A and B are shown apart, each in its own frame.
Chain A
């Protein structure tokens, strides 16, 4: 009897050990050399800085991992020092979630800088010598600069070159992003461009940067430029995937502070009315639209915001809370997107996307629906027990700057690329396990 029982136990143990490995099916994709061209999301810019953790969690790096059947991914990135803080153009480090005390002495959870300053030396060291790079994502790059020779030339002076590219270029004087990409002899490539052109304009409240016209010659218009880029990349015989441009105005950066967030008690409403009634503006006890500067014929160039207009996350909240910004003092134009600016931005996104869809056909590219991803986030994504949305911090998919994805968001984006590649190139690349990528980290 005892032997019988032991035998049964053994069967139990044998049953435990069986796992299958499915071989990677990349379909018509030749993934031996994958090169990525793009902007912030491609580079791994998040939490308002380029930093190591965001770099290793860029959709491009995630895609490279999924494209590779083994762990030794040969996808070179210009990584920053893991042990140091990251860097942005204002010499700041990335945000982390910490505690901040506001002008009213209220302490709350808030994005704070990880260090007093960023890793300043990062911009002074060219890392190209370590290896040529496959991830040519450059934060903030306009599509018009992808083929700009000397785009990383630091001697051109501040504002005339891109320090992020400077640290990774093959040559400060002769290097271009496109040139460096082609030099890698890609067998497969991804392109995600145009969003930085939109964002430069949108995050300035429509005060700086000019979104390139949708049509025009190379280095002038969006279509001519994209055509030149895709022709060059496909010229090497490579297949590719291109991403659409999301409706960036759905990002938390534009949706966290409501246009009618001016809450007045009876006294304050009366004060406001004393000031503004003479120029025809009235305020009520309760929620009111903020006041903004306007480029208009109204007296004092002030008006109330209207529904649909957006306040940017860059607005100094202490000024709003304690110094009358948005009430007695109108919010400066650079913190607001007006209806006409919003319309201009959305029109441009639509035009760019039309060009992207058309050229994708011309060059037989898969189309990663990044715009769908943001729309889905807007209505809420449920992924294996995690719910995500476009809400600032609580939404979980955007980083602490409210305008760039965090690692979970990047993994979702990578899966849009994989979905497109699988569909278009008859591949069965496994999707990234989004739960393995982190979201907002709480203290």
Chain B
């Protein structure tokens, strides 16, 4: 029965961004390493800088999606046994509507809908880390109504209110076997919601140079009535009562400084620096409604640290219709040694990105992006003892379509 206390864990694996953050909110920015706080090109500015949205001279709807292929692998330290993930393709999407109340108005209203985290990681049957995690599906969607106001021709401010709704489904095996040797299993499923905001300042001293500052607040996803379902041998059924649980997951605050340079008519450069408040993810706690001696509430230390990321990219307009983009992002992991888990086998990383834009006509713009990154991290988890090397490769091709009304 080992110690049948649930070693509780949560959180996605997302090979993107740091920790469980997914930074795939706009294809133009994605092509440029994820930078875009000071370079306003389409309605996705609602996410990247609510202030800059007021500098876009049209009403626009932008729809985008980024199928994400992530392949994880774990080589156990002592056995050299290698297990892989069988995760389905992730489907982060974003939808932006930016509206100009009347022509030449300084005021813009917008609604942004996006998925700043949301992926499924599933490890192969019988993998060595099965007692830490077998599957985690996390789906979260953010709704952000936004007001953007151009104070002068050079300065804009903006603010969005964030409502988030998310679903989580975490499964793992318990080191407790029935007569056939099958391991017990637990499924923790729940949904939660949270609130936050996204504010920004945009400053464009000249047509060549722009600055942006944004602050996205922390959003706590509170799961108030999750369902814990235990599949255990009949003889210990009473010790593992299925029932409800509560938990909470912080999405960290992010402070971003952005720089945009329009070098000439064809070349634009963008640089963003993120400061991410990951230390909010200090503990992952599960509070079970029905406790027994075998099923106690759990508090798992995560001890994430605040961290930074630098994103940069360039865009070159070959013709007024065709643009190409390249970018890089460097991200420092918030996960300290001893706290690496199969949900977020995170490490310092470099994202390589590229993009392509095509203006079909003066209404439609089509954009493609491609992100590639790989992560490698060797660790021995202090809580589970899981020891080995995680490798994750992510390829995320994205596409979006914008429809503009001048």
Which residues of chain B have a CB within 8 Å of any CB of chain A?
1-3, 7, 67, 69, 71, 73, 76, 78-82, 84, 89, 126, 128-132, 175-181, 232-236, 366, 368, 370, 384-387, 393, 395, 397, 399
Whether A385 contacts B76 by the Cβ 8 Å rule is no
- A1 on the B face (CB < 8 A): yes
Residues of B within 8 A of A388 (CB): 2
Whether B181 contacts A438 by the Cβ 8 Å rule is yes
Minimum Cβ distance to chain A for residue B185 (Å):
13
Whether A433 contacts B181 by the Cβ 8 Å rule is no
- Expressed in whole angstroms, the Cα–Cα distance for A149 and B71 within the complex equals 60
Residues of A within 8 A of B71 (CB): 15-16
- 9 A-B pairs within 8 Å (CB atoms) are namely A386-B2, A386-B131, A430-B78, A433-B76, A435-B131, A439-B177, A440-B1, A441-B179, A442-B1
- A250 on the B face (CB < 8 A): no
> Are A387 and B2 also in contact (CB < 8 A) when A1-B366, A8-B397, A15-B395 are?
yes
Given contact pairs A385-B384, A441-B180, A442-B236, a sample of 14 additional A-B residue pairs in the complex whose CB atoms are under 8 Å apart: A1-B368, A9-B397, A385-B131, A385-B175, A386-B2, A386-B131, A395-B2, A396-B175, A432-B79, A439-B2, A441-B181, A442-B232, A442-B235, A443-B234
Taking each of B73, B235, B393, which has the highest tally of chain A beta carbons within 10 Å of its own beta carbon? B235
Minimum Cβ distance to chain A for residue B142 (Å):
26
Q: Looking at the complex, which one of B128, B132, B234, B370 makes contact with A433 (CB distance below 8 Å)?
A: B128
Residues of B within 8 A of A393 (CB): 1
> Are A109 and B178 also in contact (CB < 8 A) when A19-B82, A384-B128, A384-B384 are?
no
Closest to B127 in A: A435
Minimum Cβ distance to chain B for residue A415 (Å):
7
Interface size on A, residues (CB 8 A): 41
Whether B397 contacts A441 by the Cβ 8 Å rule is no
Q: Looking at the complex, which one of B84, B176, B370, B385 makes contact with A384 (CB distance below 8 Å)?
A: B385
Residues of B within 8 A of A347 (CB): none
Whether A442 contacts B387 by the Cβ 8 Å rule is no
- Expressed in whole angstroms, the Cα–Cα distance for A240 and B154 within the complex equals 81
- Expressed in whole angstroms, the Cα–Cα distance for A431 and B79 within the complex equals 4
Q: Looking at the complex, which one of A384, A387, A395 makes contact with B76 (CB distance below 8 Å)?
A: A384
Minimum Cβ distance to chain B for residue A190 (Å):
19
> Are A385 and B132 also in contact (CB < 8 A) when A438-B181, A439-B175 are?
yes
> Are A442 and B233 also in contact (CB < 8 A) when A385-B386, A393-B1 are?
yes
- Expressed in whole angstroms, the Cα–Cα distance for A431 and B179 within the complex equals 26
- Expressed in whole angstroms, the Cα–Cα distance for A22 and B79 within the complex equals 11
Whether B131 contacts A384 by the Cβ 8 Å rule is yes
Residues of A within 8 A of B386 (CB): 384-385
Closest to A4 in B: B368
Residues of A within 8 A of B126 (CB): 436
Closest to B174 in A: A385
Residues of A within 8 A of B67 (CB): 9, 12
Whether A382 contacts B384 by the Cβ 8 Å rule is yes
Closest to B386 in A: A384
Closest to A386 in B: B175
Taking each of A96, A382, A396, which has the highest tally of chain B beta carbons within 10 Å of its own beta carbon? A382
Minimum Cβ distance to chain B for residue A394 (Å):
5
> Are A384 and B177 also in contact (CB < 8 A) when A5-B399, A15-B393 are?
no
